Structure 1
Amino acid sequence: MKNHDNKVRLFLVDDNAVFIKSLELELMQNADFDIETYDTAKQCVENLSNEPDIIILDYHLDGIHKNTNNGLKTLIQIKALHPKMPVLILSTQDTIEVAVNCMHHRAFDYVVKSETAFMRIQKLIETIFHYQKMEKELNWYMDRV
C-alpha cells in the first residue's frame, strides 16, 4: 500500500530518539521512503490507518514512557489487526529466546541493534518487497489456472 506519491511507507517505532533519527536518515539516504516515527506503541497502533508497508518496532519501548506496551505486545496487537503486516523487531538483546518468541508471534525478522543493523534492515526491506511481488505473481497465476 503505497501513499499517493507511490513511496514505500515505513513506521519506525522506538523510544530512543537518537537511534530512530539515525535509522531514518540512513534509510532516506538509500531510498525515497515516506517515514513516520513514533516513540510509543500506542502512537503506532493509533496511526495504522495510515497504512504502512512495513513497521520497524523496538522490542523495549519503556525507556521514556514506563506504562507503555513493549514491542512484543505491540506486535501481537498489530498482527491481530493486520495479520499480513510485515513487522521487523529491533532489540539490543542478542538472545535466542527473545528472537524465537518474536518469530513465534509472526515478526518478519528480529534484528539486533549493532553496527550492522542498518544494513540488515535495508536488506530485509528489499526481501519483504521481493516476497510480496512473488506472492502477487503467484496469485495472478493461480487466478488463471
Structure 2
Amino acid sequence: MQNTNPTVFIVDDEPLLTTMLTDYLKEQYVGFNLRTFPTGESCLKHLHENPDIVILDYYLNSKEKDAANGIDILKEIKHRNKNLPVIMLSSQKSYGTASKTIMYGAVHYVIKGQDAFEEIFKLIKGNV
C-alpha cells in the first residue's frame, strides 16, 4: 500500500453487509478512511473527495427501485475518473456479468461469499 491512509468508498444498499465489510477492513488496517454509501448516486455526489478506490455492489437497486445499478454507476465513475480503481462486488456468479464489469473498467469482480472480505482487502492493498 503506497498511500498510508487510503480513502475507500463502499457502495452497497445492504446495511448489514456494509457494516460487516467496514468492520473487517478497520480490523485489518487501522489507517483506512472508510466512507459508505447506500446508493451509487450518493457516491457520485462525493467523488470530488478523490477516493483511492471504490468497492461497488453490482445490484444497487434492491432497496430503492429507482436507484441506478452498479454498471451504470461504474460507467459514470470511469467517465469522471478513468484511473480510479473500482472493485465490483456481487452475488452473481455469472461469467458474463463479471466480464461485463471488467469491460467497463472494474479492476476486479468479487463474488459475495465466505472469502470475499479477505479478497477485497488484498485487492485494496494491491491497488492503492
TM tier, smaller? over 0.9
Structure number with greater CO (CA < 8 Å, separation at least 6) is: 2
Size of the aligned set, in residue pairs, is 126
> Any stretches of 5+ residues in structure 2 without a counterpart?
none
Q: Which residue of 2 aligns with 1:80?
A: 79
Q: Secondary structure at the match of 2:25?
A: helix
1:125 counterpart SS class: helix
> Which structure: greater helix fraction?
1
Q: Determine which of 6, 9, 12 is the counterpart of 1:8.
A: 6
CA distance in 2, matches of 1:126, 1:21: 20
What CA distance in whole angstroms lies between the structure 1 residues aligned with 2:21 and 2:36?
Answer: 10
Task: Report the aligned-residue RMSD.
Answer: 1.3
State the TM-score, normalizing by the size of structure 1: 0.84
Displacement of 1:24: 0.1
Identity, % of aligned pairs?
33
Tell me which of 14, 22, 25 is aligned to 1:24.
22
Q: Which runs of structure 1 show a deviation greater than 2 angstroms over 4 or more consecutive aligned residues?
A: none
Gaps of 5+ in 1: 130-145
What residue in structure 1 maps to residue 39 of structure 2?
Answer: 40
TM-score, with length taken from structure 2: 0.95
Larger radius of gyration: 1
